[in-house]
Amino acid sequence: MATESSEEQFKQGLQLLKDGSLEKATKAFEKAYKEDKENAKYMSYYGMCAALRWGEIGLGIELCTKAVKKDFSKTEYYINLAKVYLKTDNKKGAAAVFKKGFAIDPENHIIYEELVKLGAVGKPIIPFVKRSNPMNKFLGILFRKTIPGIIGRIRRQKQAVKDKD
């Protein structure tokens, strides 16, 4: 069970992480986690920081995955797990995790930006309209899937005609 001390350590860890002090943040998250090993947020942040700072990749994947399974509605846990995958250069794994988090919260700009960086999603066709808007979805499918398929078919047909000549 979370105590005042463990919650204090966690909050301190968040601030240290925000300030860029990964070593100290990892130690604060570790203390919070050791006081309450069943708390998903402590697991997730300690796992991520242990992997990023100390190279404890196995521990990071184990704890972050456990946190996601414990509370699958928290997108921050998906972000933390994906960061561990990125640390190992597993872009495919990171993209898969980001996509799961994005399915839960399609308006999460952090996940969206990471997916764009990884090339897993394109930018919305109409940038000033939310990407979840039906018009953006329809145009995205049309421009990114349907039209290239039609153009590819036309090119193949032209090539077939040239090959016959």
pLDDT tens, residue by residue, 18-42: 999 999 999 999 999 999 999 999 9
Alpha-carbon distances, residue 119 vs 63, 94, 95, 114, 137 (angstroms): 27, 12, 9, 9, 17
Q: What is the largest CA-CA distance in the chain?
A: 81
Q: Do 38 and 87 fall within a single domain?
A: yes
Are 103 and 38 members of one domain?
yes
Q: Indicate whether 87 and 131 sit together in one domain.
A: no
The per-residue pLDDT for range 153-162, each reduced to its tens digit, is 777 777 888 7
Contacts of 24 (CB under 8 A, 6+ apart): 16
- Mean pLDDT, the chain, rounded, equals 88
Q: Report the candidate in 80, 85, 74 with the shortest Cα–Cα distance to residue 47.
A: 80
Rounded-to-10 torsion of CA 61, 67, 70, 75: -110
Tell whether 117 and 132 lie within a shared domain.
Answer: no
Is residue 24 domain-shared with residue 102, that is, in the same domain? yes
Structural domain for 150, as ranges: 125-165
Q: Taking residues 136-145, report their average pLDDT.
A: 71
Same domain, 106 and 133: no
**Which pLDDT value is given to residue 151?**
67
**145 and 116 inside one domain:** no
Residue 131 and residue 118 in one domain: no
27 and 11 within one domain: yes
Report CA 21 to chain centroid distance, whole Å: 22
The 3-state DSSP composition of the chain as helix, strand, coil percent (nearest 5) reads: 75, 0, 25
Tell me which amino acid residue 55 is.
G
Q: Are residues 75 and 111 in the same domain?
A: yes
The CATH number of the domain holding residue 86 is 1.25.40.10
Predicted structure pTM score = 0.73
Residue 134 is predicted with a pLDDT of: 83
The distance from CA 125 to its chain's CA centroid, rounded to whole angstroms, is: 22
